[in-house]
Amino acid sequence: MTQLSGNQKRKMRSASRLYAVQALFQMEHSSQSVDTVIAEFEDHRFGAEYDEGEMQEGDPKLFEQLMQDAVNHQALIDQMTDRALVAKWPIARIDPTIRALFRAAGAEMTQSDTPPKVVISEFVDVARSFYPEGKEASFVNAVLDHMAREAKPDAF
């Protein structure tokens, strides 16, 4: 197996975060299990080629971890997200893509050693990829910052 550069590994990890958001969104809108969705993404999305271009190869280990942790710790993550949101906007009223993003980010924030600032930066970039023209990235940044301060107060 060829050795990957640090930049290639970073791109793969970033792609896995984006794929986790897409997969969590798909799970919410279908009756598929986490294992089914993980297999589909790894078999058909990672590195796939489409008319629009080639999809980035993902980091399967990070993708699987984010998916499992988001599902297994969803109640905890959703409660953290609710506390970070304005009272009139419970997580159930949030756009489903943003909700999936908060769950993936919350999973990484609470269940990994990734520094909170890295998690925030990465998932703000994911928000920008879904909403390039909107204010969603600023909203995501604010909510994730609040969640990070709760999840890992010693990191700030």
Averaged over successive runs of 10 residues, the pLDDT of the chain (156 residues) comes to 79 95 96 95 82 76 98 96 82 90 98 96 96 92 96 90
With 0-12 / 13-18 / 19 or more C-beta atoms within 10 angstroms meaning exposed / middle / buried, residue 34 is middle
CA-wise closest residue to 18 among 143, 129, 137: 129
> Against a cut of 0.85, is the pTM above it?
yes
Domains of the chain with CATH codes: 6-155 (1.10.940.10)
Q: Are 101 and 123 in contact (CB under 8 A)?
A: yes
The pLDDT assigned to 156 comes to: 81
Pairing label, strands 49-50, 53-54:
antiparallel
> Which residues is 54 bridged to in the sheet?
49
